[in-house]
Structure 1
């Protein structure tokens, strides 16, 4: 059987369409081949498809769409079903959404799996809104945190509900409920408040993170177990896509003592087409060779070019190295060149916000030129894990509002971020990651509320067809045994972490295990901290960026940090580790002075590109061949095998330093090392030194390390979620701020709406 050839030749199309729709009436859209057949017929025979589309939508039971009145008895059956659901749930749920809602309602622990288009997010959002106690949402990435935050703020406008992307006990005079949206690493801060917060629901979204054989996977499981113990009355809900055994979450963490259940849903709400690409030609192919045919069939047009010309959007999934090296620009220039400059005022406002946040410019051959921002003005987006979070959020808003024509992205889009495209082009197929691939192709069209059958297209290299088919048909199962229960792990560091997590020796107030805290407050650490304070403060003031450019003071300072960190990890540091640590310390000092991300990046760019020296040469009208200064590229440490890698290749001229590279690498340092690891270590060391010795400089240093400021009002603003970018404008309009409330004066209401937004939820 070769349904693709049959459809392309136009043989018995009407019968094929009716057979497929009838099968969906009885079974639902669970077969990949049915999804492909429907999508192909809609593409090539739109008028015929339109004559059956209403019937198909009823049979799919997509009750969130504006469905037409039923015209047959079978359609009327689904209309009755829809009315009953709305009467009982007051939402336009599909039968699958009803089953998910019932599973959550009837169990203390419920783990389920569903395709990306099922609409689980809609059920989850309503569940959070309707919960009358505190809620904790655990997601794997910062990008998902902010997507949840934006949607929940819109769904829950009541100011009596704190919606926070961190765990803090604030706004207590006015809030009677808290919704926390955090990563697993920051979720453990909830246990500091186990006697204060009344958590009724823990939601673990994208819960397949538990399957990772690394520190994050162990942290995830340890959080699940502690939530179960510390909050025994709370519901624990696990949501994940495409997993065959969602019950593994219950078994691996020994949650069977409470009322629990699990379910794997297979129904899809959208269709998908599969195409292969080779030598500028495109071919249709199918996943199930027995139904769709085992050979590819030539497509008579370029679907990517047609999509661009018709105002659609394309996602190119490429490697991060291809983005950073700008290789994507040359390889896909045929399509990039078709994108005309954007004139829409709303799009230009978003681009301007990104410019203000990053400091990037769009004038070529000038300081701070950013190709990333320049491309945005043509509707071309880049998206990857090293993009600053605030810029990433603006880019995602830019895309959702329809301004993106082409997006070049890495695996950051795998984890449920709501950025749908008409076509997903997989330039880089991760054969070892079936779940990642399935999540990624879920970006190819999302179900809309319009009364249409929605579908998207996936394009791969012809050479990857066999591997792709295998990935798509490989059952995805999660391990039933946690790394926490594995008797021995070869990695010494992971084995130590496992032991500490199992023994429960983590100190929640410092986010560190007791064994590490003992090191940070022993005699050797205290001696190093005492010397560090003498170098970090000049005339009782924290050192300035001028002090850390170079020179003897800087050399002695980083040497002391080397000794401190080596003592912490209990071994000598490699040259690569020292380079990363030195760069991180420099960025920490810049952060204190610069405050905003833009200023931080521009200070680092000026240093690496030797901007002052080049300006001096220019004033003297002298040509310069100055080479860029060394700065270490971000790498994860501790790692004794870490080699010294320059961010800018040796021999690159200072004037040719790429500002985008500075932006991405600086964010990596702030997010992955300073924010996630180093600041916890240094804060604990300086704060404990302050408690032991009463040296106020240590407390000041601890605050600078943790918050970037020692100003009490600014620290409270940070706790209320305000970024430094907004503080300068907001501070004059705030009368008082503390744990109980945030009070503004009348001038606050004269600020533009976008400036008030940062704290408006807390203003009563």
Structure 2
């Protein structure tokens, strides 16, 4: 098939086959002189009208008419897929679509949010994606001070007339149904909506969809998925009216991908096609000239290397890459160095006391990305990548979960995907290889490379289908743990307490006299002195801290209706130790330092083995029966990784304290207040939620300021309330990073 035939095929059928774009990519690589004549026409046939607004041939000029019509209708030049999505959103209340990576699903949703009046909620499956969406929304709305973007539910800044965009996980979105939330929501965008089929996560997701449909009767909903064959299943499983619904699986792609394998026997490199039944066989391949490593790792391309989290933790992820990394020049750009400096300060690796491999690698343009990097640091890592400073990125499946950071090359160092069933692992695989090839705005056809050492397995995974169940997990027999079963039953029976974010059966257990006594004990200890710090800090307060841990444990176990297992209890007690440090005012990096000093025996000059420390894990988890340490047995204290303690501390704060414990503790003290009218309950709830009883600091966090910067920013704040925040004039002289954080809030 020559290029003219390929162009005709795309014009007639659209780019519905990745195989056809693979052919286009090979023409661009091997026949550039011929390709340049067709390139503009191919861009037009692909519907990428925004790339070529001044065409030089008649065909492209005529095709541009479609793009110009989209601009008249929707305010910007859209691709056919984006235009179809926008029409559906204009005409229907419920829209469920599937499209390949880089098709523009998120772009269309952001544009629609910008066009409509009222508030919107973006629901994503992970906190990693919250970081992605908050950043992308801020880029979309720029300095527009009428749009407030928050990663939690709140109604602050009431004095300013605002359109509010909440970017939430399904768990955090439950706060939309609190009696304290009074705003209307006009649009819900459920991205990566395939999590509706994922057991426990699917329960929270489906419960959110049904509760949102009941409470916000006029809100539109968009469900977006990658590579799902039957997006209409979302309409069916939630029994949404079909007369005001639209569902479609778009097959159109916009970026070409070329696959390269390293043969396991002859060690040569070959181009291969996953779109041919036996495309991985050598006699079906074309040999790649030279070593692919030399081509990919020359420092001039952006390369995503998919590795296991375990390999990052044990350091083996660098094997085979170190010699190339050592050739990379150190970053010299001031913006890049500023990002690195901010991350180092955030994690406590900005002095000589603690060494971070993550920071050392960034100095050469090499980044690490996974879900246990502190969220604000992850924001900065992603800024580093988007700004073009990253030559190499070692990442786990967090980048397969929809984080939109394309690369020139996706390097599959591992083909193993964890979590979910086989179909979810295959979907994660497709999502990841979809990061290969950056869709640019330049007048060029874009393509990327995917590299693997197991082409046969690659072909098998890339050809697997993904179909959503037509039946909600809420309507299925649920065989997981009792805690989730109790949640499902409460949602089905209408006995879920929206204000306390718990099933009524849990609330009843938290209302028992012994739990009320535990609540009273906690409040009495924490507020026994003028400051929380004074009540808890120091060796003399150890007995008080032990009582607090025991009382909090009683509350959590009462909520479960069972005792914690031995390993669960170990995780819980570690989490409580960290939470009590937060209550005392220790910063994140200070807590990391304290934990590292103990585990690595820093005060003993790092002699002996690293101490045992149970890693973080979400609770409850009855399957958590085997104890193991952050560092394997026999690890010398001097070999303990500071980064590993950074990651584990963040996991404790994020996965255990924030995700697993806080809702229960807050509900317990709401019940306690109702039963006793003890007004100190509001203070302990504030302390649990924000880690402080400093009213100004708590309000600033509600306004969306990162906790790591709140104390610095507070020096520039003249007044803050739920109504407004006013800054002192000296904010004009604040450091650039402070100005960047506060600019939107200024008049």
Task: For 1:713 and 1:532, locate their aligned partners in 2 and report how far apart those are by CA, in whole Å.
Answer: 24
Pick aligned residue for 1:286 from 273, 277, 280? 273
| Length-normalised TM-score, structure 2 | 0.93
Aligned to 2:297, the other structure's residue is in SS state: helix
Shift of 1:429: 2.0
- 1:209 Cα deviation from its structure 2 partner: 1.4
In structure 1, what is the equivalent of residue 702 of structure 2? Answer: 719
The separation in 1 between residues aligned to 2:242 and 2:69, in whole angstroms, is 34
CA distance in structure 1 between the aligned counterparts of 2:220 and 2:556, rounded to whole angstroms: 41
| 1:757 alignment partner, SS class | helix
Note the C-alpha offset of 1:200.
1.5
1:640 to 605, 622, 639: 622
| Residue matched to 2:571 | 580
Residue 723 of structure 2 corresponds to residue 740 of structure 1: yes
CA distance in 2, matches of 1:176, 1:63: 33
Residues 224 and 581 (structure 1 numbering): CA distance in 2 closer, same or farther, change over 3 Å?
same
Asked if residue 485 in structure 1 is aligned to residue 461 in structure 2, the reply is no
The 3 A distance-change label for structure 1 pair 572 and 130 is: same
What is the CA-CA distance between 1:140 and the residue it aligns to? Answer: 1.3
* 1:461 and 2:453 correspond: yes
Instruction: Tell me the equivalent position of 1:254.
Output: 239
- Structure 2 residue 380 is the aligned partner of structure 1 residue 398: no
Cα shift at 1:741: 1.0
Q: CA deviation at 1:442?
A: 1.1
- What are the within-5 Å matches in structure 2 for residues 111-130 of structure 1? 111-130=96-115
Q: Which secondary structure does the structure 2 equivalent of 1:315 belong to?
A: strand
Determine helix, strand or coil for the equivalent of 2:646.
Answer: helix
Q: Do 1:362 and 1:373's aligned partners in 2 also have CA atoms closer than 8 Å?
A: no
- Cα distance in structure 2, aligned partners of 1:475 and 1:107: 28
Aligned counterparts, 1:336-351, within 5 A: 336-351=325-340
Distance 1:91 1:40, change over 3 A: same
Contact 2:230/2:467, CA 8 A, preserved across alignment: yes
**Measured at CA, do residues 429 and 653 of structure 1 come closer, stay the same or move farther in structure 2, by a change above 3 Å?**
closer
Runs of 4+ in structure 1 over 6 Å off: none
**Shift of the alpha carbon at 1:63?**
0.8
- Say if 2:533 and 2:585, in contact at 8 Å, map to a contact too: no
Question: Is residue 132 from structure 1 mapped to residue 113 from structure 2 by the alignment?
Answer: no
Shift of residue 261, structure 1, vs aligned partner = 1.0
Rounded to whole Å, the distance in 2 between the matches of 1:69 and 1:724 is: 50
Structure 1 residue 175, shift from structure 2 partner: 2.2
User: Partner of 2:515 in structure 1?
Assistant: 525
Matched, 1:570 2:561: yes
Quote the residue 2:496 is aligned against.
506
For 1:233 and 1:695, how far apart are their aligned partners in 2?
Answer: 39
Equivalence for 1:32: 18
Residue 487 (structure 2) aligned to one of 488, 494, 497: 497
Instruction: Quote the residue 1:621 is aligned against.
Output: none
Query: Are 1:215 and 2:205 counterparts?
Result: no
Deviations 1:325-362 (A, max 9, x none): 11111243343333222222221111001001111258
Question: Could you tell me how far 1:687 is from its partner in structure 2?
Answer: 4.2
Aligned CA distance change for structure 1 residues 611 and 702 (closer, same or farther; 3 Å):
farther
Deviation per CA, 1:109-154: give whole Å up to 9, x if none: 1111111121222221111111111111111122322322223223
After superposition, the C-alpha distances for 1:604-644 in whole angstroms (9 at most, x for unaligned) are 22232343444xxxxxxxxx734433332112221233232
The equivalent residue for 2:435 is: 443
Q: Pick the aligned partner of 1:225 from 181, 198, 210.
A: 210
Match of residue 308, structure 2, among 309, 319, 331: 319
Contact 2:407 2:448 in 1 (8 A): yes
The equivalences for 1:672-751 within 5 A come to: 672-695=655-678, 698-751=681-734
For the Cα contact (< 8 Å) 1:284–1:298, is it kept in 2? Answer: yes
Tell me, in whole angstroms, the C-alpha distance in 2 between the residues paired with 1:725 and 1:229: 37
Equivalence for 2:88: 103
Distance 1:377 1:288 in 2: 40
Q: Tell me which residue corresponds to 2:598.
A: 607
Distance in 2 (alpha carbons) for counterparts of 1:310 and 1:269: 26
TM-score (norm 1): 0.91
Secondary structure in 2 matching 1:267: coil
| Structure 2 equivalent of residue 164 of structure 1 | 150
Say if 2:15 and 2:46, in contact at 8 Å, map to a contact too.
Answer: yes
Deviations 1:554-590 (A, max 9, x none): 5554444444433332223222111101110110011
Question: Does the aligned pair in 2 maintain the 1:70–1:79 contact within 8 Å?
Answer: no
**Cα offset, 1:758, TM superposition:** 2.8
Q: Is there any run of 5+ residues in structure 2 with no aligned partner, and where?
A: none
CA 1:539–1:488 in structure 2 vs 1: closer, same or farther (change >3 Å)? closer
Do the aligned partners of 1:32 and 1:287 also contact (CA within 8 Å) in 2? no
- Tell me the SS of whatever aligns to 1:69: coil
Q: Secondary structure of 2:686's partner?
A: helix
Q: Which deviates more from structure 2 when the two are superposed, residues 47-56 or residues 130-139? A: 47-56
Aligned residues: 734
Query: SS state of the match for residue 578, structure 1?
Result: helix
User: Which residue of 2 is the match for residue 11 of structure 1?
Assistant: none
2:398 to 385, 397, 412: 412
- After TM superposition, the structure 1 stretch with the greater mean CA deviation from structure 2, 145-154 or 368-377, is 145-154
Aligned residue number for residue 64 of structure 1: 50
- The separation in 1 between residues aligned to 2:407 and 2:104, in whole angstroms, is 17
Q: Distance in 2 between matches of 1:630 and 1:556?
A: 23
Which 10-residue stretch deviates more, 222-231 or 18-27?
18-27
Inter-CA distance 345–733: structure 2 relative to 1 (3 Å threshold): closer
Partner of 1:9: none
Tell me what 1:148 maps to. 133
| 1:51 matched to 2:37 | yes
Structure 1: distance between partners of 2:287 and 2:367: 30
Q: 1:229 to 1:697 in 2, by over 3 A?
A: closer
Contact 1:163–1:178 (Cα < 8 Å) also in 2: yes
2:587 is the alignment partner of 1:596: yes
Does the CA contact (< 8 Å) of 2:571 and 2:617 recur in 1? yes
2:286 aligned residue: 297
Instruction: Classify the secondary structure of the residue corresponding to 1:184.
Output: coil
Out of 368-377 and 16-25, give the one that drifted further. 16-25
Q: CA deviation at 1:650?
A: 4.0
Matched residue, 1:474? 464
2:621 aligns to what SS in structure 1? Answer: coil
Alpha-carbon distance, 1:535 to partner: 5.0
The answer to which of 119-128 and 218-227 deviates more is: 119-128
